[in-house]
Amino acid sequence: MEEHTLKFFVDHTLGKLAKYLRMLGIDTVYFTQTDVYTLIEKASQEKRIILSRNTKLKNLDNRPNFFFISDDQPDKQLSEVLKYFKIQITPGQLFTRCLKCNQKLIAGNHDDVKGKVPPYILGIQKKFSLCPQCRKVYWKGTHLEKMEEIIGKVLKKKD
């Protein structure tokens, strides 16, 4: 499986989009501060493309590596990004990153996740993914199914 080389830096107006990109396994930093100059500096340090709805960025002399998001609906924003950057999503990429901290998830077994998931889930699920940073546990279930549904809708809408 080929790793995506695109890395994004999403500003504070696009929290949901950041989450969607992470669902797709795309390396995405969510920047919660409002200062554009810090935003630009951090993004360029990490060689990330800025995604923003801030028109101020458009008019800067030293235009940063930046893509302007025109839509205000997160699912449409996601398809804007996928289309513009010609990102192809493979099923193996989905849900490989923590939605909270962007870390790559690692496989967890029953012992790793005991006490962190409801007991009935432990009984019915065999595979878990674990965030090495915040220790959040992910598993196939209604939560992921719902995300898959959203992603499926967006991907179908692409053309």
Residues that bind Zn ion (CB under 5 A): 98, 100-101, 131, 133-134, 136
Which lies closer to Zn ion via its Cβ, residue 69 or residue 99? 99
* Least distance (Å) between residue 133 CB and Zn ion: 5
* Least distance (Å) between residue 100 CB and Zn ion: 4
* Least distance (Å) between residue 9 CB and Zn ion: 18
Which lies closer to Zn ion via its Cβ, residue 33 or residue 133? 133
Which lies closer to Zn ion via its Cβ, residue 22 or residue 66? 22
Which lies closer to Zn ion via its Cβ, residue 54 or residue 129? 129
Rounded to whole angstroms, how far apart are CA atoms 21 and 27? 8
Which lies closer to Zn ion via its Cβ, residue 100 or residue 114? 100
SS (H, E, C) the chain: CCCCCCCEEECHHHHHHHHHHHHCCCCEEECCCCCHHHHHHHHHHCCCEEEECCHHHHCCCCCCCEEECCCCCHHHHHHHHHHHCCCCCCHHHCCCECCCCCCECEEECHHHHCCCCCHHHHHHCCCEEECCCCCCEEECCHHHHHHHHHHHHHHHCCC
* Least distance (Å) between residue 73 CB and Zn ion: 26
Rounded to whole angstroms, how far apart are CA atoms 3 and 61? 33
